[in-house]
Amino acid sequence: MIDLPFGSITDVPGITVGHHQRAGRGWQTGTTAIIVESGATPGVDVRGGGPGTRETDALHPQNLIQEIHGICLTGGSAYGLAAAHGVMEWLEDRGLGFPIGLMNGSPQVVPVVPAAVIFDLGRGGSPTNRPDATFGSKAAGNARRSQQRWGSVGAGTGARAGGLQGGVGTASTTVRLAGTESGGDSDIEITVGALAVANPNGSVIDPATGLPWEPCGTWLRRPVADERHALIAALTGQAALHLNTTIGVVATSARLDKAEASKMASVAHDGLARAVRPAHSMTDGDTIFGLAVGATNLPVVARHVALNAILKAASETFAAACTHAVLSASTIGEAVAYSDVCRSVYRSSR
């Protein structure tokens, strides 16, 4: 294997990621929590025809909530939304959430935890084995900035990407903008990061070349003929015939309002559609959340130019996160991982 040049959503200041999963003995599912203890301005865009979500209405710009502290991405289809309650309890224990005043002399909060699910029911053998609140609380408790576990972990444990084993992928980039918030000459830097749970009905891999639609600087070699034949069999085999979804988060260190955070999530779907073909079908529940941690103000002069640069980065990093999810996956159950089918692609990496 190679070191993949993607970066991480945890490169955005204040964001941590944690996973919890079970595999074996009838299980193959899990949950991923994205935690922002300092709070972040949220947004969302739902594009798929079969979404399973929670608290998305609260994120609309015209509604009350202006800040959240966690997002839950999970397996289990609609049943898996129960995992968000565990993230909610974890945040409540730390006093993080929407303040509702004093009760019995103590400050009380109601954490708002948006969530989205992928379809992975029965992929470990039993359709009744799916995430509950304990998955969410354990994933939140495992959240770290130095998160090194990607691929077939957390919400990506039961994921499939067009017949291959899917997973959780991540990426980040730095946007350099001219001018300070007061219109000066000094450059400022904005970090944009993404996390994707790739479980699409479409494919991240181009069957004609055996390489990702969006290689994202990986310098992979075209797989040899026998591997390409095996790849096509995997992409068109029984493991590909299931309900699917790609979900994720795109985040930035910039200070954005809710409308801008939602626009960032919306444009990130362009990256999903470049990396996954086809995307946004009736059996996909494609949902992307936006998070703006507000560490850096945008320039006052030509703010729209700075926003366009962030939107472009959001699209590119989400595409890279989808690619990373499949390249970093490992075989767990019926669906084989790309790295096990196309071993030769890594030999000429640089």
Tell me the pLDDT tens digit for each residue of 248-275: 999 999 999 999 999 999 999 999 999 9
pLDDT of residue 212: 97
Residue 243 to residue 309: CA distance in whole angstroms: 34
Structure tokens at 305: 């130019």
pLDDT of residue 229: 95
Residue 92 to residue 22: CA distance in whole angstroms: 25
Of 73, 78, 75, 40, nearest to 59 (Cα)?
40
Beta strand pairing call for 27-46 and 106-110: unpaired
* In the predicted structure, residue 288 carries a pLDDT above the cut 80: yes
Beta strand pairing call for 245-254 and 164-165: unpaired
Find residue 192's DSSP bridge partners. Answer: 173, 252
Tell me the pLDDT tens digit for each residue of 178-205: 765 445 557 889 999 999 999 998 999 9
- Band of the pLDDT at 238, cuts 50, 70, 90? low
Tell me the pLDDT tens digit for each residue of 145-172: 998 899 999 999 999 998 999 999 999 9
Average pLDDT, integer, range 83-109: 95
At residue 179, what is the residue type? G
* In the predicted structure, residue 102 carries a pLDDT above the cut 70: yes
Of residues 149 and 36, more confidence is placed in 36
Asked if residues 140 and 5 have their Cβ atoms less than 8 Å apart, the reply is no
* In the predicted structure, residue 106 carries a pLDDT above the cut 90: no
Average pLDDT, integer, range 282-297: 93
Structure tokens at 98: 């929407």
* Spacing of C-alpha 93 from chain mean position: 25
pLDDT of residue 349: 40
Q: Which residues contact 1 (CB under 8 A, 6 or more apart)?
A: 339, 346
Average pLDDT, the chain: 92
What are the CA-CA distances from residue 347 to residues 164, 173, 224, 334 (Å)?
A: 21, 26, 11, 26
- This prediction's pTM: 0.95
Query: What percent of the chain clears pLDDT 70, i.e. is strictly above it?
Result: 94
Tell me the pLDDT tens digit for each residue of 54-92: 999 999 999 999 999 999 999 999 999 999 999 999 999
pLDDT of residue 243: 66
Q: Where do we find the tokens 């939304």? A: 81
Asked if residues 109 and 92 have their Cβ atoms less than 8 Å apart, the reply is yes
pLDDT of residue 301: 80
Residue 26 DSSP class: B
Average pLDDT, integer, range 31-36: 98
At residue 158, what is the residue type? G
Of residues 17 and 244, more confidence is placed in 17
Name the 3-class secondary structure at 259: helix
